[in-house]
Amino acid sequence: KIKEISQKAKVVGDHARRVFRSLMDSISYVAQALRNVWRWLMRVGEVCNRELGSPYVRCLHLFNEAKDRCERTIPFLSFLCYIVVIFRPLCGLAKVALLFCVIPNYIQSFLRRKVSDPLKDALERIRREFEFNISATHHFNISLGASKSLGEVATDIMEGVRLRLEPTHRVLGLFLHFSFCAILYLYLQAVRYRHRYLRDDTFDNMYITRRFVELDLRRAEQGRATVLPLTARECTRYISPAGIWLSYKECRRYGLQLVAVLRHVLLGASVILADYSLFWLLDLIRHLMQGEIVARAPVVLGISVNGSGYTSEIFRDVVAAFDVLQRGNVSVLSQRCVVHPVEPDYSTYITMGLLYGICFFTAVFGSYVARLRRLVCATYYPSREQERTTFLHSTILARRAGLARALYQATKRGTADAGQGNLLLFLSS
């Protein structure tokens, strides 16, 4: 009801607005004409004051010039020059014409007082006549009856929310278990590395650290044998922890990890390519089969059945059905039979690319990050790191001494085959 009343009031207001606008347009034309008359009267007054006011001013100017010239000519009889001042009031006769200039100003004030102001007041009263307000008061009573209490309703709502969030909770639970297993695996790997670091001198002991260089310098000062600089072959086995070059073991591990990642990347790329190729093929088929193939009979045969009786009626029905079939259009390929392929989910491709990217990053930089394990253990166990450094220095010296001894023995025996066999035997040991 309120809406209907408002709509009817709006219709009435629209009609009143159109009437008032038409009235304002008509009055604006009259106001424009009065404004033109007003401006004309103003220009007439200005022209009248400018043209008719100049004779009086010119007359006064002439009398003043005559008096001044007289005083300059006969200064000793200057009192006689004041006779001119006696006749100066005669210039007032020229001001009689100025009375005509007062008439436009009077007409302007009359129009403003009798036409413009009353017209504005009338328009304002008309505008106020069309102002109205609508107030509506509605009283209503609502009685509610429910078979459940507010607590039961709240419980049902929470149950619905729980059912909706159940898949999310399961995913989060699996992620929690996976995270726990991953952290446990990392912890066991760290414990295993610490155990081997403290027990085995040869485990991950191939880095030329700052302690190693200081040890070699001290031995050089004492006149003992040193190992620095390393030979070309030793540089492939012993490296600096902060260097970008990898050792032989690290290169082998790096190659195996990279090959494994590239194998999975190739497999994923093959799956993506097969998926998109299938979509492209089906979409191409759909594009080529957009038209309909309609089969028509090449020759129309006319068959007539003559006679009467029950049998003739049966034959006429059969002939009529055959005639409808050969004259009709048979759709061999219809749009309803065309397959509409679904476009692949590109977000899945992006997710797979991100996962493969993370795996590739781990395979490339994993060897460099793994060097931090030795740095952490060396920080917490400096004495053990010193022992491992001394052992590495001694190992390099022993390898060099053993190699030199083997070469000397091979040369002394005089047989290259035996020497090579002993050398290979020593290196393999």
* Candidate from 129-133, 153-157, 386-390 with smallest mean pLDDT: 129-133
Residue 142 lies in a domain: no
Q: List, for residues 63-110, the tens digit of each pLDDT value.
A: 777 777 777 777 666 666 766 666 666 666 555 555 556 566 666 666
Q: Look at residue 309 and tell me if it is in a domain.
A: no
Which pLDDT band holds residue 188 (cuts at 50, 70, 90)?
very high
Q: Is residue 247 part of a domain?
A: no
- Say if 6 falls within a structural domain: yes
Look at residue 266 in the predicted model and tell me its pLDDT.
92
pLDDT band for 422, please (50, 70, 90 cuts): very low
Residue type, 191: V
Provide the 3-class DSSP secondary structure of residue 299: coil
Domain range for 25: 2-129
Which pLDDT score is estimated for 418?
43
pLDDT category, 427, cuts 50, 70, 90? very low
- Establish if 340 belongs to a structural domain: no
Predicted confidence at residue 368, as pLDDT, reads: 85
Q: Does 29 map to a domain?
A: yes
> Does 103 fall in a domain?
yes
Asked if residue 98 belongs to a domain, the reply is: yes
Write down the mean pLDDT value for the chain.
73
Domain total of the chain: 1
Q: Which of 37-46, 207-216, 301-310 has the highest mean pLDDT?
A: 207-216
pTM score: 0.42
5-16 mean pLDDT: 65
pLDDT at 313 over 70: no
Band (pLDDT 50/70/90 cuts) for residue 141 is low
Q: What does the pLDDT look like over 33-63, one tens digit per residue? A: 666 766 666 666 566 655 554 566 666 777 7
Q: Which has the higher per-residue pLDDT, 4 or 425? A: 4
